[in-house]
Amino acid sequence: MKKIDTRFQVNSRLASLLSQEYASTEKAIKELVDNAWDADADHVSVSLPAPMSEGSIVILDDGTGMTTEELTNHYLSIASDRRERSGERTSGKQRLVKGRKGVGKFAGLMAASAMTLETYARGVRTSFTLRIQDLATVQDIEHLPIVLNSDPCDALSHGTRITLSGLHQHLAFPDPLKFRQILLQEYGRETDFAILINDKPLGVDDVDGLFKDERLSVRDVGDVRLRFAISEKKSISRQPGIVIRVDGKAVGKPSFFGLDEQEDFPQKLLKRLYGEIDADGLREHVTAGWDSLIENSELLMRVAEMVRPVVLAAFKEKHGKEIQLAHARLRRDIKDRLAALPENRREFAEKAIKKILDRFYQEPEEKIAPFIYVLLEAIERSEYGTVVQHLAEAKRKDIAALADALDEFGLVDMAHLVEQANARNKFLDQLESLSKNERTLEAQMHKAIEKNLWIFGPEFSLFSSNKTLQRQVEDFLGKKFSGKRANNRPDLLLNENLNGECLLIEFKRPSHPLNRDDYTQATDYRHDLAKLVTKPITVLVMGGKRSPDFPISNLEPDVKVATFLDVIATARRQLRWQLTQQI
């Protein structure tokens, strides 16, 4: 047998194919901006030529640059993963590295027929030019001759300039507006990375939408400048909202200044809000680490009270007509039902429906309609409205009228308790079916139970979740179960009751028998979370059944174990008792 030594050949078409990875010229150029980020640049400027001109695209940064050796060994190494070579973060500013595939160097060839790179580092200027026509002359890209020009330069010079010339005329020239929207998504909130496009800094006023620049005077804070935009698109940034700047530095996370808690405000619109506030008068209310403002600061509250109506008015100006049209379409469908209601109920129904329509603006009509129809059904059928109105109108001295109203309320409430018990029985039927299915996962049981803690008994029904607890659990799990361990991430639910006591539930899939390791893990999670949550935590471990090695003695205090079927059976007994007592 004859053996022949050979090797893979890297066809020169590879560079062209890699350049076609980008969906648009703007996204290809953004890849070159990412390179400046990875080079720890403070500033990067991008010059875009006028459409159909002979001009070039130039990307210039003041990053670390590359020596001739670094350019040869690293930059010209195709598919070299920088993270494996130098780590996940940059050496200077400790930024998360964006370059992952080692092929971004070819991005410029999507837009142009030639790319010239000049880089300055440690007193040496190195440059070379890569042309598409040169690639066509060789079969194997490894055989493409690249001439590096190297000469001395100022020892303090550093950075890289990329010039893309001979722009492809068959492609649309890069659109500065579209390019700015793409960069805002990624870099809009960065404070140590300034980007200029055609000599204009990237900023709030680049958002494609309604832009407002307001100057407000806030008592004891002084002049405040509010600059924000409401974009045409669904989202302009990964961090929507308005950030506060003090002495030019962003403090804390972006905020919606209470609009996110306003029941009748369409929550989807919040993703379109992007802006910043200059409020140097808050400098005495910044925390020591300069990472947030003091939450109960009276001055901060005054700023919020001034900002909220301005932003709300802008939303009404931008999207008010759209919201009204959405209202009109659904109102046509429910017109007859509203007309049939008594006048006092009709007025109440109109207000309630408006809240629903505002809250769920931009949701499909088929999703909003059920909410409205259930609301109308309740208003049409329920005596609650009349009873509550009676209670409200009864004068304090009218004891007899008040007693009658309370009696009437009790009868209505009893009827609703019976309806609720029947509905809960149906829920338990579905939950039991889910728990008997071998394919049911922890997350599915979690989702079914998290808003129905009444199944554990009356004392547990007072527990409810909040954003702070959710965030603390997510942060804890994200740090403890990252990378390859992410697949082992448990399903935890942490809730709190009115007394400040916490309930930690660890869910296991119904097919999993609870064992000693499950008990140990759950208590370990409590110990870890106790460092974040300074409140007593009761632990509940839930699964399909107990295995023989699950501990039954010498347990830590406030640790409970429950199987899904046992909990469901107990809940059924409670409901039967409730129905027996009411009827």
Report how far residue 498's alpha carbon sits from residue 533's, in angstroms, rounded to the nearest whole number.
15
Q: Is residue 254 part of a domain?
A: yes
Q: What is the reported pLDDT for 286?
A: 87
454 and 568 assigned to the same domain = yes
Q: The domain spanning residue 226 has which CATH number?
A: 3.30.230.10
Q: Would you say residue 154 has pLDDT above 80?
A: yes
Whose structure tokens read 């429950």?
562
Q: What is the reported pLDDT for 12?
A: 46
With bands split at pLDDT 50, 70 and 90, how would you rate the model's confidence at 8? very low
Domain ranges, residue 383: 321-393
Q: Over range 103-117, report the average pLDDT.
A: 80
Q: Is residue 405 part of a domain?
A: no
282 and 346 assigned to the same domain = no
Q: Is residue 406 part of a domain?
A: no
pLDDT digits (tens, 9 = 90+) for 470-495: 778 888 787 777 766 667 778 888 88
With bands split at pLDDT 50, 70 and 90, how would you rate the model's confidence at 422? confident
Give the angle 183-121-66 at the CA atoms, nearest 5°: 60
With bands split at pLDDT 50, 70 and 90, how would you rate the model's confidence at 5? very low
Strand partners, 241: 274
Q: Is residue 69 part of a domain?
A: yes
What is the number of structural domains in the chain? 4
185 and 291 assigned to the same domain = no
Q: Is residue 428 part of a domain?
A: no
Q: Please state which of the ranges 98-102, 128-132, 431-435, 540-544 shows the lowest mean pLDDT.
A: 98-102
Q: Is residue 410 part of a domain?
A: no
List the structure tokens of 411.
Answer: 């009868």
Strand partners, 495: 503
46 and 91 assigned to the same domain = yes
Nearest to 119 by CA among 69, 176, 83: 69
Contact 136, 12 (CB under 8 A): yes
Report how far residue 563's alpha carbon sits from residue 1's, in angstroms, rounded to the nearest whole number.
67
183 and 277 assigned to the same domain = no
Q: Is residue 119 part of a domain?
A: yes
pLDDT digits (tens, 9 = 90+) for 370-394: 777 766 766 666 554 554 445 445 5
pLDDT digits (tens, 9 = 90+) for 283-292: 998 887 777 8
Provide the 3-class DSSP secondary structure of residue 563.
strand
List the structure tokens of 212.
Answer: 């407002």
349 and 290 assigned to the same domain = no
pLDDT mean across residues, the chain: 80
pTM metric for this prediction: 0.54
326 and 311 assigned to the same domain = no
Query: Among 295, 316, 337, which residue terminates a domain?
Result: 316
pLDDT digits (tens, 9 = 90+) for 182-200: 898 888 888 889 999 999 9
302 and 382 assigned to the same domain = no
**Strands 222-231 and 209-218, how do they pair?**
antiparallel
Contact 432, 465 (CB under 8 A): no
494 and 559 assigned to the same domain = yes
Q: Over range 224-250, report the average pLDDT.
A: 86
Q: What is the reported pLDDT for 86?
A: 65
Q: What is the reported pLDDT for 388?
A: 44
485 and 575 assigned to the same domain = yes
371 and 347 assigned to the same domain = yes
Q: Please state which of the ranges 385-399, 505-519, 539-553 shows the lowest mean pLDDT.
A: 385-399
Query: Among 257, 290, 316, which residue terminates a domain?
Result: 316
pLDDT, greater one: 377 or 326: 377
Q: The domain spanning residue 121 has which CATH number?
A: 3.30.565.10
Q: Please state which of the ranges 255-264, 517-526, 531-540 shows the lowest mean pLDDT.
A: 255-264
What is the signed CA dihedral for 334, 340, 341, 343, rounded to 10 degrees? 110
463 and 553 assigned to the same domain = yes
pLDDT digits (tens, 9 = 90+) for 36-87: 999 999 999 999 998 877 889 999 999 999 999 988 888 877 766 665 666 7
Query: Among 142, 171, 197, which residue terminates a domain?
Result: 197
Q: Is residue 417 part of a domain?
A: no
